[in-house]
A and B are shown apart, each in its own frame.
Chain A
Amino acid sequence: MLLIGKIALGMVGATVAGAGLLCSEGFVDVNVVQHRDSPPHIHVIAPAMLAPIAIRLVPDKKLARASQQIQPWLPTIRAALDGLRNSPDLTIVEVSNSEEYVQVAKIGGEIVVDVANRDDTVHVSVPLRALDSSVSALASVSPGSDEAASF
């Protein structure tokens, strides 16, 4: 009985630790609401750590081009993320006209993108840390990359 209890405690501990690890980079929140026609409402909240893991699971061939294209911009992306991490919350870009509203903001360690037009309302928030990890994962797809190795 004691042994079963220890095993159960170990499993619970491992589950809690795993869940904690999975959630350590925050959550990606995607919320899409369509206004016209009977609306399909898509709302996904997923651990941000899954993004780099998912990138690593995609066959290299599929991501090779994207990885190649992102390589020259890696230092710039990393510098931007680093700078934004230390900056206060702010609206980075806001575009509005009579038909559409787009906002990109940094709110509490996350990049939040809101798009609203007559047809859809889209809200995406991604933790900066997850962006960093995902970019690193994407960069590491290309073999022999110095930039990727430095991450």
Chain B
Amino acid sequence: MHSRRYVVTAATALVCALFLTARTAPAAPADRFLHVQVSQADKDGGDVNVNLPLEVAEKILPTINRGPLHEGKVTLENDQLQGIDMPAIISALRDSPDNKIVTVRQKDENVDVSKSDGNIVVHVHEAGKEGNNVNVTVPISVVNALFSTEQKNQIDVAAALDALDKAGDTFLVTVENTSEHVRVWIDSHSQPQ
């Protein structure tokens, strides 16, 4: 009789332990994937899908030392930033409320830059039938990582990839026109959903 009670107690303890372990064990980080999808309206044009694990991109990038890319950092030539203090601008943007930052209205093009839900969002709308609709959404953490190098003429692509890995699922770029549809996004699915 006693032995049965011990067995029941042990089994209950085991089930509780398993339940608690399952509840408290840290979940393994999900793999994140960078997707590029190019669809062309013309059937002969073809479709292209690229799915790359971010981990692979993060590992590959520091090994490429060609041209302006060295150890995951790109050196900007000819003072392309022209003395603009990007970290200061990003810091100011991060602390500001969601808002439209820049609006440009032209005859053939409209450009909107805004901050929304921790992202920098850029919309470009070109007039005309062949005009492109471009949407760029980049988490501020990614932009911050991009300009986190000590040298002002460098951008840290490897750090940006790392920040992307930690950011949520997001569409980075979409480009649409009458003949082509390009999408670049990050999610945790190995295949496009």
For A97, the chain B residues whose CB sits under 8 A away are: 43-47
Residues A90 and B51 in contact, CB atoms below 8 Å apart: yes
Least Cβ–Cβ distance between B2 and chain A, in angstroms = 50
Residues of A within 8 A of B116 (CB): none
The answer to whether B33 has its CB under 8 Å from any CB of chain A is: yes
Interface size of B by CB at 8 A reads 24
Query: Which of B53-61, B79-87, B117-125, B142-150 sits within the interface?
Result: B53-61
Closest to A92 in B: B51
Q: Is the CB of B191 within 8 A of A91?
A: yes
Instruction: Please provide the chain B residues from 38 to 53 with a CB less than 8 Å away from any CB of chain A in the complex.
Output: 43-53
State in angstroms the CA–CA spacing of A78 and B60 once bound together: 9
- Verify if B8 is at the interface (C-beta below 8 Å from A): no
Residue of A nearest to B50 (CB): A93
Would you call B56 and A83 a contact (CB within 8 A)? yes
B109 close to A (CB within 8 Å): no
Check A83 against B49 for contact (C-beta < 8 Å): no
Q: How far is the CB of B123 from chain A (nearest CB, A)?
A: 29
Cα distance A93–B47 in the bound complex, in angstroms: 11
Question: Is the Cβ of A94 less than 8 Å from the Cβ of B190?
Answer: no
Q: Check: A95 CB closer than 8 A to any chain B CB.
A: yes
Asked if A96 and B60 sit within 8 Å, CB to CB, the answer is no
The chain B residue with its CB closest to the CB of A93 is: B50
Within 8 A of B (CB), among A81-108: 82-84, 86-100
Docked CA distance A82–B60 (Å): 10
Known contacts A80-B56, A83-B59, A87-B55; is A98 also within 8 Å of B190 by CB?
Answer: no
| CB of B11 to closest CB in A, whole Å | 35
Q: Are A90 and B44 in contact (CB under 8 A)?
A: no
**Other-chain residue from A86, A90, A95, A96 in contact with B33 (beta carbon distance below 8 A):** A90
Contact B55 A83 (CB under 8 A): yes
Partner of A87, one of B45, B48, B53, B60: B53
**A91 near B59: Cβ-Cβ < 8 Å:** no
CB within 8 Å of A: which of B9-68?
A: 31, 33, 43-53, 55-60, 62-64
Residues of A contacting B59 with CB < 8 Å?
A: 79-80, 82-83
A residues 4-59 near B (Cβ < 8 Å) are none
A interface vs B, CB < 8 Å?
A: 75-76, 78-80, 82-84, 86-100
Residues of B with Cβ closer than 8 Å to A? 31, 33, 43-53, 55-60, 62-64, 190-191
